[in-house]
Amino acid sequence: MSDRILKLSRAFKLILCLSFCILLTACGTSPQVRAQKRLFLDFSLEYLGEYELPKTTFKDTPVGGISAITYDRDRSRFYALSDDRSNKAPARFYTLNVKFDRTDEDKLTLKKVDLEDVTFLKDEEGKTYASGSIDPEGIAFSPRKTLYISTEGIISQNIAPFIGEFDLKTGKKQESLRIPQRYLPEEDASKKGERGIQNNLGFEALTLKSNGYLPDDPFRLFAATESALKQDIVPQNPEQETKPEPTRIRLLHYLINPVGSPVLVAEHLYLLDLAPSDALNNGLSELTALNQAGHFLSLERTFGLSGFGAKIFQVVVGNATDTSRIATLKGNISRVVPLKKKLLLDLNQLDIDLDNLEAMTLGPPLSDGSQLLLLASDDNFREAQVTQFLLFRLIRG
């Protein structure tokens, strides 16, 4: 009897041990994997084609400098913002009719981009912006049938950045959002250079997310600087062999209500990927809000001796820390939870020559549940560069 009990006891222990091992195997890495799957959406990108807009003028304006683009679903049109500082023509955006076609393999591709209209931006008094007084960089179409436009300011000339709402038809500015002082140049001459946006590195990225279906429903607007604020720049010591730190960028989150002023809800930390060793420029070019709350696509662009580079990431707010009360991010940020990022596509892996990609927006949804994603480049009005449009399909699952 005791032998049977002993054998059963050993068998039970063996089963228990095996069960425990299986449990450990299942729980060792899978909770983190499952958490990652819950955190990030199951998306992929399929490259569909390229179109190069010929050098041209439209209604006496040179077409170029496309720094942002947004989609109007009701009209099936795109609005592309030029970053011309009113030097070559008044600051403006173009209405584009992007035409698609199908290949012999029944794949959607870019056929042509037609210019349909140009609208000049105007201040609150209805006047076009004077030469060198504005640097427009971001654009987002709103449920109100208006456009939100962000600027970098021209810090070297004490011109502050702004985020404003503009009338779609007239281009007239209707109101400006309140921007926190930490983004603005220091007014005290003795403290110049200690605070605010760096010159030519202001509000490059702009996007919005609608919460409802009616024009009067509240919606959320997000803006981010291209690089770190002056007070957030991490000092580099070339004499110390320390691991490079990613650039620390701040992202603003506004709630736009039908009544009352826009409310600044929160601010979060976005960590820029480290640039290649030969990079001369590295920054956050664009954000695009996805349909799911708290999820974005981001476009990071580099330029160096080997040419242009670009990456598209999926970004999630998750439990990111609100950094709006943190005066500087240049110190130890181990207790700050940044926005989560996941690489979707390194565009350098595509078999195409990339230009200066700065613009990105979701386009029309497709019958299979996927959605088009359109990118555009800023040619800087240079003959050696091009206005390049790249088409992708954003696939769920």
Q: What is the pLDDT of residues 44-89, one digit of tens each?
A: 999 999 999 999 999 999 999 999 999 999 999 999 999 999 999 9
The one-letter amino acid code at 347 reads L
pLDDT for position 291 = 83
Q: Which helix (H) or strand (E) holds 52?
A: strand 43-53
pLDDT at 14 (0 to 100): 45
The mean per-residue pLDDT over the stretch 214-228 comes to 92
More confident: 244 or 211 = 244
Burial class (CB in 10 A: 0-12, 13-18, 19+), 317: middle
Q: Is pLDDT of 200 > 70?
A: yes
Q: Is the pLDDT of residue 389 over 70?
A: yes
Establish if 12 belongs to a structural domain: no
What is the C-alpha separation between 228 and 234, in angstroms, rounded?
9
Give strand pairing partners of 147. Answer: 141, 166
What percent of the chain has pLDDT above 70?
A: 87
Residue 108 lies inside a defined structural domain of this protein: yes
Residue 385 near residue 373 (C-beta atoms within 8 A): no
157-173: average pLDDT: 96
Mean pLDDT, to the nearest integer, of 248-264? 95
Could you tell me the pLDDT band of residue 20, with boundaries at 50, 70 and 90?
very low
Q: Is the residue at 39 inside a domain?
A: no
- Kindly state the percentage of the chain with pLDDT values over 90: 75
The pLDDT of residue 135: 97
Judged against a pLDDT cut of 60, whether residue 4 lies above it is answered with no
Is pLDDT above 90 for 31?
no
Phi, psi of 379 (to 5 degrees): -85, 0
> Does pTM surpass 0.85?
yes
Work out the average pLDDT over 283-290.
97
Looking at residue 15, what is its pLDDT? 43
Domain carrying residue 55 = 44-233+247-396
pLDDT at position 127 = 98
The stretch 212-223 carries a mean pLDDT of: 86
Tell me the mean pLDDT in the region 297-301: 98
Domain for residue 1, yes or no? Answer: no
Q: What is the CATH number of the domain that holds 263?
A: 2.115.10
Domain count of the fold of the chain: 1
Residue 24 has pLDDT above 50, yes or no: no
Average predicted confidence (pLDDT) for the chain = 89
| 4 in a structural domain | no
Instruction: Return the minimum-mean-pLDDT range out of 28-37, 48-57, 237-246, 283-292.
Output: 28-37
Beta strands in 237-385 (DSSP E): 248-256, 263-271, 279-289, 295-304, 307-316, 340-346, 357-365, 371-377
Label residue 10 exposed, middle or buried (CB < 10 Å: 0-12, 13-18, 19+).
exposed
Given the DSSP bridges, would you call strands 66-72 and 248-256 parallel, antiparallel or unpaired? unpaired
State yes or no: pLDDT of 6 exceeds 50.
Answer: no
Q: What is the pLDDT of residue 333?
A: 95
Per-residue pLDDT averaged across 372-388, rounded? 97
Secondary structure element (H or E) that encloses residue 139, with its range:
strand 136-141
pLDDT at residue 238, rounded to an integer:
62
Mean pLDDT of 202-224: 90
Write the CA distances from 84 to 66, 68, 284, integer angstroms.
9, 12, 19
Does residue 68 belong to any structural domain of this protein?
Answer: yes
241 inside domain:
no
- Assess if residue 11 is contained within a domain: no
**Largest alpha-carbon pair distance within the chain?**
103
**Residue reference for tokens 């569909």:** 48
